[in-house]
Structure 1
Amino acid sequence: MDERRESPGQADGAGRHREGEALPAPPRPPRGEELGGGGFAAEGQYFLKYDHSSYQQFRSWAPAVLFWAAVLCSIRFPAAAAAERSGEESAPPRVRVVIAPTLSYGPLWIALEEGFFRDEGLDVELLTMRRTAEALPSLAAGEVEVLGSHILPSHMNVIARGGRVRIVADKGHHDPDGCTSEAIVAAPSVIASGRLDDPARFEGLRVATDKGMSGYFYIDTLLATLGVSAEVLRTFDLPLSSKEAGFTNGAIDFSTAAEPWLTRLVRSGTAVKWKAVEDFVPGFQSGVILYGPALLDEDQGTGTRFLAGYLRGIRRYNEGKTDRNVEIIAEATELDPELVREACWISMRDDGEIDVESLVGYQRWALREGLIDRAVAPEEFWDPSFVRGANEILRSREAR
């Protein structure tokens, strides 16, 4: 099962249990899948993909959420005022991070569970959405501080239009010397037919892909190396959770799949790995950590300390599939520990730096496809100051 709790940060330690825990628990919004789209609760709001049934359900429980938000605020604010009067230490900065229930968020879960963010004096809360792309407006508006995501044309468009959003760290890249964390997979019958061995026979193949997502970039790039245009394909969007059924019932000929779905599809015999992504876009910067205005402009020190905790999480993640790492990631994703251990964990750099040139090339492709307004320069989309400051913090501690 690949569903998980909306917020893994609900136990002891910073970013977990909250003041006021003796109160009766306020009513929780329905889970994302019950609303017909991903969503998460934060600051008395619920961010979700809009559809009519979701809106009707939202109307039914919104008054209760607002009531409890008012109750909690009435408790918190006097306490903060009392702390100021008595000279007590103020509460740690709160950092809300939007994530998805996939393996590439492992360093964040590790950093939270092992207390690395707490060591930096931060109150970090991880907020889960099925499609993190839907949280980009909330990041740009300052409603959340951090977004973890695969790279999207919409990131570049927000930046090109003046939005205060920047990439600040690595969250996964396709290392040609690493394992295959994402691949193009095909139905066994299509592989057996030999159709994929002859580009002249590609016309009409049914492909599950969303043009605005990285999977389409991979497919189009691969086909270009074979001298085939993606326009000859029959493409349609299909949720990850539906791809297995699509292959089983013959609705899909090929598609992209990332972990853990890649291992699950191949292990069950539902699909066959056809092309590994790192073979035709080696080093591509597929995953990124983004900051919004709250950390870029208002509290840069917190932004640097957050990445210091995150980099410690990456380094622990890069120690590999230790029992403790597997335990943390399996619990957070609600995946079977054996699946977590079997799947490929995407490569991440210990220092958090990104492959800038791969994103420059990605923008050239997106511009040709009409997916972005203009190509933004590296200094517009990439702010290395936070990750370099975080590395300096860690180096100074190691030297003591």
Structure 2
Amino acid sequence: MSAPTLNPLHPGEWLGMLGGGQLGRMAVHAAQALGYRVAVLDPDRHSPAGAAADEHLQAGYDDAGALTQLASRCAAASTEFENVPAAALSRLAQDIDVAPAAIAVAVCQDRAAEKAHFQKAGVPCAPHAVLRGAADCAGVDPALLPGILKTARMGYDGKGQRRVNDAAELAAAFAELGGVTCVLEQRLPLAAELSVIVSRGVDGQMVTLPVQRNWHVNGILATTAVPAQGIAAELQAQAQQFAQSLAAEFGYVGVLCVEFFVLEDGRLLANEMAPRPHNSGHYSIDACSHSQFELQVRAMAQLPLPEPRLHSACVMLNLLGDLWFDAQGHRREPNWAAVLRLEGMHLHLYGKADPRPGRKMGHLTVTAPTAWEARGQALAAARVLGLPEDGLV
């Protein structure tokens, strides 16, 4: 059976976005640059995406009236975060194109289903067990300990996770997490963390961004560097192929991010997926010929997908709400002027009025002709702002 042909949406048509955060905001900007109008559905009156959109429907994601209104207005819709109810996407799909489909989002919402998808697509992941009750904890394979216990649903940025060393700690952590379904992963010696962003169209065409090397602090992404220095070309190609296999197995349409672990023995293991653009891909706005957000819009609008080209080496630094407070906890504005005096700085703030520790307030992408220069300039910016230097020294 031949692949579906593209039926591109014309400029001036409406696209829908479920979710009003910074990912939605950047997708709105990309859609508007291509001539589309965007309606955002989000309950927050002050949502960053809602402020940028042509229309903001202030309602819950499961609000039947709002979903009907969105479907009547828009020709296609997407989501900017994986915890939007999959049922809302299914409701929209009765009337308009939805990318990604509800089933893909539902799998990415559940770590147990996600692990099963990795295995079905032939992509290796960490040894693990699904724990649905105390009896499962008691009967767990001792080879999985020490391990990391993660709630199957609603965990992100290090939330819903506990390190456990033995059976007693596992039982205590399971109870502490509320006795909900969890996944226990064997703790493995890591050498590096990578991510790959793939975009797939309705016609099956797939393109990937360059492989991104990531560093985390307290479970939250701190730094992304591209090119992925220190990672063999063969391993990078394998990561891109695994990401494409996972998208193809879904029949996925849209942008998918797959995070990987590189083990000390050189093996590559899939960690988790996000059915949307990803924090680690924000650099693509300033360092690539086509950003992850443009690729998301193109997939939604059934436009051709160009192969993204990295035109500048870069380092992306996450800007968390901690920066807005001094050592005594007093509110202050970071010294943006001092940062912007440095060469190659691209500051993106998300329009969030209420900084809080750990809250993603923006990002800074540093571009340069070489990876060495980008790292040096990023280190200078990090020192001005008081950011962690993980991945830079």
What TM-score, normalized by structure 2, do the two folds share? 0.23
Higher relative contact order (CA 8 A, sep 6+): 1
TM-score with structure 1 setting the length: 0.23
The structure where helix makes up a greater share of residues is 1
